[in-house]
């Protein structure tokens, strides 16, 4: 099974990478430089092109101060 993992360069994404090493499934690890998860068309295309069956979103916005001041 093909599994898409977003936020691969973050702490949780790295843990997923380590945990998936012995899996029989095919993991596709991406980060914002490869896939902008706010772009629905890009995500849909990634899913279609790679026959993705599961998406694990590990992406996070980590700038807490900016998140509080920039609600949008």
Instruction: Print pLDDT tens along the chain (72 aa).
Output: 999 999 999 999 999 999 999 999 999 999 999 999 999 999 999 999 999 999 999 998 777 787 778 767
Eight-state DSSP code of residue 20: T
Structure tokens at 25: 């499934």
What is the reported pTM? 0.84
Q: 57 Cβ partners below 8 Å, 6+ apart?
A: 6, 7, 37
């Amino acid at each position: 099974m093909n599994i898409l993992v977003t936020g691969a360069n973050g702490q949780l994404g790295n843990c997923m990478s380590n945990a998936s090493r012995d899996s029989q499934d095919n993991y596709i690890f991406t980060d914002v430089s490869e896939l902008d998860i706010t772009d629905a068309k890009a995500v849909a295309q990634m899913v279609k092109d790679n026959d993705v069956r599961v998406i694990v979103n590990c992406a996070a916005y980590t700038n807490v101060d900016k998140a509080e001041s920039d609600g949008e």
